[in-house]
Amino acid sequence: MNELVSHGAQRVVMLLGRRWALPVLAALQGGPLRHHELRRIIGGVSDKVLVETLRALGEAHLVTRTVYPEVPLRVEYALTDAAQALCESLEVLNDWAATYWLAEARRP
């Protein structure tokens, strides 16, 4: 198997293919957020699905979960350095899509 479609690349695409993964990463680019803040920013995602998405991104070492020992309990989610680098790569993908794929779709 060549490097472009390696097992690792396939796993990243599968993870990012989850419906809410990219919106969560985009929302967290602005800095750490709490669960309810993420839900408000993203909109349309259920608590259960957001928790599942955050858990999957955490297991992939893309999102950290920090629990502050306060009353009431405060939990914040943030991007890891790896996720920041991934977001930079996604910007390149966005540029490619705008230049080639979306432009092609607009042609008669």
Phi and psi torsions of 32, nearest 5°: -60, 145
The structure tokens listed for 98 are 């705008």
Go through the domains of the chain in sequence order and give each one's CATH number: 3-106 (1.10.10.10)
- pLDDT digit string, tens, across residues 63-102: 999 999 999 899 999 999 999 999 988 889 888 888 887 6
Mean pLDDT (whole number) for 42-59: 95
**pLDDT the model gives residue 53:** 96
Of 11 and 28, the structure prediction assigns the larger pLDDT to 28
* pTM recorded for the entire structure: 0.82
**pLDDT the model gives residue 64:** 98
**pLDDT the model gives residue 12:** 85
